[in-house]
A = this chain, B = another copy of it.
Amino acid sequence: MRLNTTPKQDGFFMPSELAPHKCTYLLWPERPDNWRLGAKPAQMAFRAVVEAIAKHEPVVLGVNQSQYSHVLGMNMENVSIVEISNNDSWIRDTGATMVVNGNGEMRAVDWGFNGYGGMVNGIYFPWDLDDMIAAKMAAIENVDRYRTDDFVLEGGSIHSDGEGTLLVTEETLLDEGRNPDMTKEEIEAKLIEYTGVEKVLWIPFGVYKDEDTNGHVDNICQFVAPGKVVLAWEDNPDDPQHERSVKDLEYLENVTDARGRKLEIVKIHVPNPITITAEEAFWIDTVEGTFPRNEGDRLPASYINYYNCNGAIILPVFDDPHDEEAIATLQSLFPDRVIEPIYAREILLGGGNIHCITQQVPKV
């Protein structure tokens, strides 16, 4: 059922991704104008992510009808294959944001979605199927649904600590392609109303060249505990990422969260610059209206785009000298979680990474 109240009114809030999950949703990549070689290499990488998560919790994998039989035939353990028509596979951004209350109840928030900027700076057209994914997830999970017809948001542009604080970037939330007629204060009020938090922290920047998403927070910073975050970092002052990370650090050092805590900040260095090769670009269908991916384009690679599932962290790695440090840092932050590194270049080539392709359903 669609509800006409808000989560805040009804006593619901967005839990931390670190809280226990019932399951994880993903979508199967397919569109050949974004994923090279008919998405086959990306599908192999997605499958690795699915199987890594399925070792730790159930996975629900949504696929277009065209790929249903193929994916079903993989007979993957702990993975349900459901039909969810989609324009692309970023369920972090298009799926439901589940909210919970203190009585063990769950509901879905179904944000308006416009392909990362609509007719202003969206990255594909149309996005009609993607805008229905949250409703379909709510239906499969059999939960009631809040819908924001008048407010556009992608799930990858918010992080919740589960204790009243939401983390966002100004770059994305104030982008002219989302909610151009709303002030920052109005946007903040919507976020509070629909995630049930008390305070929003506005980091200025996302990762350099994260142009698809206009700098989603889930590539630059995430909570590792209430009051504690990891931040994508670049030492080299000549790299454009450096100044962005510095500005974000300054912001984070000078705020307190909803509980009045100063934040502890752990830096995780980004990999060396990664660019699209000629061969990679060649096998992407050129389509007018789809965000182009050309030879030499720098990719927004970051370790921060990892996913927290039950008992594990699914971490993108890049065959880069910084991989080991990222693994070691996260292992020290999460001694009780298994770190599952997955070579994720094929996902990055499509414009996002492991966090962008996952969406948790909390356990209530």
Contact = CB atoms under 8 A, between A and B. Distances in A.
Interface of A: 1-2, 58, 60, 65, 68-69, 72, 75, 77, 80-85, 129, 132, 135-136, 139-140, 142
B2 A69 contact: no
Contacts of A142: 58, 80
A139 B1 contact: no
B139 A80 contact: yes
A132 B82 CA distance: 11
A332 to B, nearest CB: 36
A319 to B, nearest CB: 33
A136 B58 CA distance: 16
A132 B69 contact: yes
A132 B69 CA distance: 8
Contacts of A82: 82-83, 136, 139-140
A83 B80 contact: no
A72 B1 contact: no
A80 B135 CA distance: 10
Contacts of A139: 60, 72, 80-82
Nearest to A135: B72
A7 to B, nearest CB: 18
A83 B81 contact: no
A65 B129 contact: yes
A322 B135 CA distance: 43
Contacts of A1: 75, 77
A85 B72 contact: no
